[in-house]
Chains A and B, each alone.
Chain A
Amino acid sequence: RFVGSLGTIVIKCKDLRIIQLDIPGMEECLNIASSIEVLSTLDSVTLLYPFFYRPMFEVLEDGWRSFLPDQEFELLSSATDEWRLSCINKEFSVCPSYPPVVIVPKCITDEELRKVAMFRYGSRFPVLSYYHRKNGMIMMRSSQPLTGTNGRRCKEDEKLINASLRPAKRGYIIDTRSLNVAQQARAKGGGFEQEVHYPQWRRIHKGIERFNILQESLIKLVEACNDQSHNMDRWLSKLEASNWLTHVKEILTTACLAAQCIDREGASVLVHGTEGTDSTLQVTSLAQIILDPRCRTIRGFESLIVREWLQAGHPFQQRCAQSAYSNSKQKWEAPVFLLFLDCVWQILRQFPCSFEFNEQFLIMLFEHAYASQFGTFLGNNESERAKLKLPQKTMSLWSWVNRKEELSKFRNPIYEANSLVIWPAVAPQSLQLWAGVFLRWNRPSQYLEEAHEEMVKIINYNKELQERVKVLRRHLAEMEAAERAQGNL
């Protein structure tokens, strides 16, 4: 993240900023550089800032307890009684990357779940991700089935998956790998659901890239954005070569497909890739933003991040270690979460009035996922977080964000609740580079900020007038009533 040379230290930050310090004196410079080097590459998680951070604000609400699975299930049970909370994973004994409690079909016993877990990669058996109130369709997610080359099957797995179907209805399995990749996975013991064993399900393959391909794409994109040359052709070809927008398009398209199956086709959906911790989560969480107006509120979006990313076991510590400027090749590094945020931004751009939060909120989440004074994004799953005792030892991001002063920065001034499903366009013409993140340090922001201020001013003035009119009307009505009463006397 930094290169030191002759009295100049260049610090390349995870939020893509580049800071250059000119320091008089070779020795001092080297000292500072090596200190920064050491301090920025600590080995132990417990030495990180969140463990030393003492908040300067009053905690009104403990963010660690803001989004509990019980609340989520309560909401669900008001709509359907076909699902139950299972504590099968209480000690993280069945699946290390799942939370202690998960939502599964009522008719499946914990014993059966254990068998299904044996049949799925990393024991990530299918669990409920989303219930679509409009038509009762659901979305589940899991990891790949361990069919292997000889086509193993698991009766309990079939039963579990079919339990989510309505009588005589069909469902879709969205495999986030291309057919080719999925077939190759069989050689390593993985695989996909075969039609013969899952006759009521139609499988669709979508090639969402993973790991180093995404990481390379990010590195290329950031490099292109930092290229100071004046040549337009070079910029466009570098943007194209980074393939970043291709990934955005692919993920968004797959999420739209899942949402379309649920809302338009009236079918249930199961989403998985290989591990079910990356592209799977991108798809399930984006589909919910498209389908569920609640996820477009600040609170609802936070809850979505907690459910579909933190509790669902997206390995944040592995994926968000170094960001775009890493010299050393980190095997597990990948901007999966950033791509998700980018996709959300694309939808936000197309439906600017339908989100309670603004672009700054997304950028804030990006920053905290990579580096934070809060413990929320530490660890790779709930099990690790429990071991580190994060809720006891660190502060939650949500405790900070959900305070009135902070929220005011993240509110979209032109938000108007929109209860409809929102279908984003995914044509290349409709997608743009997320300048707020990638060009953040390279473009003047003054004029855009002014525009935002002006927008807030217009809205606030309008609200103020509405209030005043309301007060006056009431006042007038009272006086008129009084007068009438007087007249009647």
Chain B
Amino acid sequence: VENVRLLDRLSSRKAVLGTLYLTATHVIFVENGSETRKETWVLHSQISSIEKQATTATGCPLLIRCKNFQVIQLVIPQERDCHDVYISLIRLARPVKYEELYCFSFNPKLDKEEREQGWKLVDLNEEYNRMGVPNNYWQICDVNRDYGVCDSYPTEVYVPKSATAHIIVGSSKFRSRRRFPALSYYCKDNNASICRSSQPLSGFSARCLEDEQMLQAIRKANPGSDFIYVVDTRPKLNAMANRAAGKGYENEDNYSNIKFQFIGIENIHVMRNSLQKMLEVCELKSPSMSDFLWGLENSGWLKHIKAIMDAGIFIAKAVAEEGVSVLVHCSDGWDRTAQVCSVASLLLDPYYRTMKGFMVLIEKDWVSFGHKFNHRYGNLDGDPKEISPVIDQFIECVWQLMEQFPCAFEFNERFLIHIQHHIYSCQFGNFLCNSQKERRELKIQERTYSLWAHLWKNRADYLNPLYRSDHSQNQGTLHPQIAPCNFLYKFWSGMYNRFEKGLHPRQSITDYLMAVKEETQQLEEELEVLGERLANLQKSQLGDNKVKSKQQDQSKQLRLSTSNNSLANTPQEYSNDLKSFPSWSPSQGDEEDSALILTQDNLKSSDPDLSANSDQESGVEDLSCRSPSGGGCLPSEDSGKDSDEAIFLAG
């Protein structure tokens, strides 16, 4: 469709004319005129809602809201075209079969072996071994080998050694959707563990001997402690209401040596509405400070984030300080339980604060334990009441922790944002379906690619320059402030207003430090090379053997140019990422990235002027134009200008 106008949300004056294309996978808007022909790509799977508004004199407005919080406003001149686009998008944005999703057609040009390697990057067996199981207390149980006991659990789960198959099966029958207590995290140092399950089917008075034995077995697996905590992450009222339906919570009288605790995290419906309200605040046109703060408070979003964090802090404290094992559940044990277990693990174990560890954590607590990605994030057309930003909240908790502990995480904010993006994008197979069982049936690993491999390949972009593994923050448990900590929770504009670049800081400390660190690395290498050359020169001068020294000198030059070549990858990725991020969908940007790197690489190595010395010089100059104040600010100043004007005058 031609002559479509793309409106800027912050100022209605700024609109660009262009052409709208619909492909099998993307909505693409290409700007007319400008020499760059800027393109905006949106994956169909990212579209969360499409709204056709009343036709005006200029055309028919179409509002597209995306799951990654991008809002696109288009005006299409012809009503009929607009209707066609609307109908097509509605169909395209709501696929009914998994096969329609982008990951089945996405091809990053990797061969079969590379794809398999990619899927092997995160290995949960390895992870359980790292934690220290199996051992004297914990073992793998194979009762769920063919998903025979619980179809939303993985085939391999860890249970206390003393829990026999009879106990496990018995306990599973007494738990919602047969999600029996299983190990989530094991603390090597003191044998305390975090286990997870769904709610017991206790009703008002029912009890189950095997379930009681199961909890007893968990307690016994931690000989240092004579009780376990049972944490029900629901508000007490919700849990009590469940009793009427034959579900409910553990009665302390029936179980020996448990301490029962409610932690009021609201259900998925409350969370969905809360996010909705907060996004409405984000979408306000030039809101006043009061509008914004009032709306933020009214949405309750930060309150919910804090509730999840508090639960995680409680559990981490029980495990690390009291040495007591914890059993966590909510209703089905796949939403709040996943949030809380992963926050607690993150607090307890520095490994999960590394890039690799974080991938493992999501794979362990979310993917393998049957978090219903398909339902929660609406990958396929389904019940809108099942949709809820459960993992978004976990990702935000991580961000809030990163703000409080700037040196504790190996990865940066961009890493979190890209993960959030791909949970919805369906570009990679990791988050498809609702359970491991479904994924195996679909043969996901053979037909799609793994996000983790993709992120790992570009890990240089996701590093936190302030991270130091030997830092005090990275020894053992993090202790976030619990007492007066309300004001430590901040609105995350980098996520929820992430496409409104005008709102964000114009210079990034992270990017600046990353550039500096990279330069430092180059300098280190140069220093080494220079030192060697110097030593050689001295030697040759002493020996008065000129011919030999010249040869050596040349070989050194050669080495330097190659080493610099391999380094030259990183700056390109860095700047490309900056460029690609604002308007294109990151997935596209990433693809472009790899393409660009290739060409740049070729260019570099075929560049005849690449003598060692001149390259050293340019390496340094490169940095100054890459640094945010030099290269970054110019474009952002210009782009920021217009929207700012609008704001100042409107105010």
A: residues with CB less than 8 A from B are 206, 225, 227-237, 239-240, 243, 245-246, 248-250, 253, 256-257, 260, 264, 349-354, 414, 416-418, 420-423, 425-433, 435, 439, 442-444, 447-448, 450-451, 454-455, 458-459, 461-462, 465-466, 468-469, 472-473, 475-476, 479-480, 482-483, 486-487
Contacts and interface: CB of A to CB of B under 8 A. Distances in A.
B644 A443 contact: no
A235 B505 contact: no
B519 A450 contact: no
A-B pairs with lowest CB-CB distance, top 6? A428-B292, A236-B297, A235-B486, A451-B406, A240-B293, A465-B523
17 contacts: A232-B486, A243-B290, A246-B290, A248-B289, A260-B648, A352-B509, A420-B633, A426-B647, A428-B291, A450-B407, A455-B513, A461-B520, A465-B520, A469-B526, A472-B527, A472-B531, A476-B534
A45 to B, nearest CB: 37
B106 interface: no
Interface in B615-651: 616, 620, 627-630, 633-634, 637, 640-641, 644-645, 647-649, 651
B406 A447 contact: yes
B546 interface: yes
Interface of B: 282, 286-294, 296-297, 300, 302-303, 306, 404-408, 465-466, 468, 471-473, 481, 483-491, 493, 497, 500, 502-509, 512-513, 516-517, 519-520, 523-524, 526-527, 530-531, 533-534, 537-538, 540-541, 546, 549, 616, 620, 627-630, 633-634, 637, 640-641, 644-645, 647-649, 651
A232 B406 contact: no
B306 A240 contact: no
B68 to A, nearest CB: 17
A458 B513 contact: yes
Nearest to B468: A454
Contacts of B497: 429
B637 A421 contact: yes
A444 to B, nearest CB: 6
A253 B500 CA distance: 18
Contacts of A439: 487
A462 B523 contact: yes
A447 B404 contact: yes
Contacts of B516: 414, 458-459, 462
A479 B534 contact: yes
A352 B505 contact: yes
Given A245-B293, A414-B513, A454-B466, A447 B405 contact: yes
A437 to B, nearest CB: 13
A445 B487 CA distance: 14
B538 A479 contact: yes
A427 B505 contact: no
Chain B interface mostly helix, strand, loop or mixed? Answer: helix
Given A232-B486, A257-B649, A462-B519, A350 B506 contact: yes
B509 to A, nearest CB: 5
Given A233-B303, A416-B629, A429 B644 contact: no
A257 B648 contact: yes
Contacts of B472: 450
B520 A450 contact: no
B517 A430 contact: no
A245 B487 CA distance: 14
Contacts of B406: 447-448, 450-451
A233 B300 contact: yes
Most chain B CB inside 10 Å of its own CB: which residue of A206, A232, A475: A232
A180 B513 CA distance: 49
B503 A465 contact: no
Contacts of A245: 289, 293
B645 A422 contact: no
Given A353-B628, A458-B513, 14 more contacts: A228-B484, A232-B297, A235-B486, A256-B648, A257-B648, A353-B627, A426-B648, A430-B493, A430-B505, A444-B481, A461-B520, A466-B523, A468-B523, A469-B523
B473 A429 contact: no
Given A253-B648, A447-B406, A352 B641 contact: no
A409 to B, nearest CB: 19
A349 B493 contact: no
B290 A240 contact: yes
A68 B568 CA distance: 50
A479 B500 CA distance: 55
Nearest to B479: A444
B491 to A, nearest CB: 7
Contacts of A427: 286-287, 500, 502-503, 647
A449 to B, nearest CB: 10
Contacts of B293: 236-237, 239-240, 245, 428
B289 A260 contact: no
Given A353-B627, A458-B465, A458-B513, A420 B530 contact: no
A175 B491 CA distance: 33
Contacts of A468: 523, 527
Contacts of A237: 293-294, 297
A425 B488 contact: no
A454 B470 CA distance: 12
Nearest to A430: B503
A45 B628 CA distance: 47
Given A246-B288, A450-B407, A462-B519, A429 B509 contact: no
A249 B648 CA distance: 10
A52 to B, nearest CB: 38
A283 to B, nearest CB: 12
Contacts of A458: 465-466, 513, 516-517, 520
B405 A426 contact: no
Contacts of B468: 454
A443 B523 contact: no
B466 A426 contact: no
Contact of B297 (A225, A240, A351, A354): A240
A469 B487 contact: no
A455 B637 contact: no
Contacts of B490: 432
Nearest to A250: B651
A245 B520 CA distance: 40
B534 A475 contact: yes
Nearest to B404: A447
A350 B471 CA distance: 27
B292 A429 contact: yes
Contacts of A486: 541
Contacts of A354: 507, 629, 633
A91 B524 CA distance: 62
A353 B616 CA distance: 25
